[in-house]
Amino acid sequence: MAAFEERRAMAAPLVFDPYSYEIHENPYPTYARLRSEAPVYHNAERGFYALSRYQDVRDAMQDWQTFSSQGGVALEGSGKAPPMIIAMDPPRQTKLRRIISTAFTPRRVAEMEPRVQQLTLHYLLPLLERPEFDFIRDFSAKLPMAVIAAMLGVPEEDHDMLRNWSDTLLHREPDNPHVTPAGVEAAGNIVQYFARAIEERKRRGGVDLLSALLAAEVDGEKLSREEVLGFCFLLIIAGNETTTKMLGNAVDLLYRHPEQRARLVREPQRIADAVEEVVRFDNSTQMLARLVTRDVSLHGVTIPAGARVLLLIGSANRDDRAIERADEFDVFRPPVAHLSFGIGTHFCLGSSLARLEGRVALEEILRRIPEYEIDESRRERVHSTNVRGYARLPVIPRLGGEAKAYATS
């Protein structure tokens, strides 16, 4: 029966639409067909091309002169968003990166570990008193926002408001490529919020990242107000949402692979490896858009200059041409050069922080609730082109006796 279903699927027309809710539920069978049948895919209706094989995606990420970031990483473009480093090319992107990267050096990120652990326990421990909790709403949406907000000096009472705006901006309606009216309003609210915060820091200063960005210089040049605003916008949207979904994906994958979860409980020193496998196998960032600056011929297809191209990270990470047993989830596999954090000039500045949050959160979760269930009938997917993960993930801790006493201590 499985073989018959696979043959029937292969006989169907190959259509890849990143706005399809069916793709949001499970893009991987379509990715496999793209890699095999149409490694350079063209969707004339939506007006884009897509690269799905590992080597092609990797090469495009490294060739910023041909695959430009101008226009933003989303297929629909960056619209009226403030200027962001991910939507720039060198040399301006290089200068901004030099300024911003000082906040994400390995030493500075390592110094954040005690605070990340404190926040993890702050949000996790009260949940273990409940018979059930929504992992996304009650934990994974709160932790990354708290970490980023602390960096930017955002008061705790504003965290939920900013997170709700971020969720609203990313949501897409079925088969509709446009940001919803509520999303447009949410984007405006985020911009206005940080515009006020910037003016406040200019008046009275501060010791947070926002204040440091306003004061920083490279080659005698400061960031413009709009560039600082763009970085705040990027941190709240990308830095928050991707880690939120990564944590949810991790808990879901480990639930579906109980033997690997049990071994991680026994060998917590391997949890960092588990984070790497989660972001490879089911990354929260599935694709990035690029603008082609010249005609590109690949696999017998010519992509014309000016076309929008999607680099399908989620597909590249499942390409058996580059990664052995790519469709298997194995947290104990040897290190893999996945593309989840990018490569080259746009390698993710926040990758060390995301890895830290993932490792610390999973260490505490598996230490305190090694056994749990997920109500799969009530899971809900996020509906977004770039971000893959859950909007709702009901978790039922299985604790008893000494385990419960330890979990909540």
What are the two backbone dihedrals, phi and then psi, of residue 406, each rounded to the nearest 5 degrees? -70, -40
| 80-137 pLDDT, tens digit each | 668 888 889 999 899 888 888 888 888 889 999 999 999 999 999 999 999 999 999 9
Task: Identify the pLDDT of residue 406.
Answer: 58
Whether the pLDDT of residue 409 is over 90: the answer is: no
Q: What letter does residue 233 receive in the DSSP assignment?
A: H
- pTM of the model as a whole: 0.91
Number of domains in the chain: 1
Is pLDDT of 42 > 50? yes
* Residue 4 domain flag: no
Confidence check: pLDDT of 171 > 90:
no
What's the maximum distance between 2 C-alpha atoms anywhere in the chain?
69
Residue 55 lies in a domain: yes
Would you say residue 6 lies in a domain?
no
Please give the helix or strand (H or E) that residue 131 lies within, else none.
none
For residue 54, what are the domain limits? 16-407
Q: pLDDT band at residue 401, thresholds of 50, 70 and 90? A: very low
Contact 348, 61 (CB under 8 A): no
Mean pLDDT, the chain, whole residue set:
91
Would residue 1 count as lying in a domain?
no
- pLDDT value at position 126? 97
| Residue 369 belongs to a domain | yes
Tally Cβ neighbours within 10 Å of residue 378.
11
**9 part of a folded domain:** no
Note the pLDDT of residue 340: 98
Q: Give the list of residues 6+ apart from residue 404 with CB closer than 8 angstroms, or none.
A: 128
CATH of the domain at 372: 1.10.630.10
Q: Are 373 and 255 in contact (CB under 8 A)?
A: yes
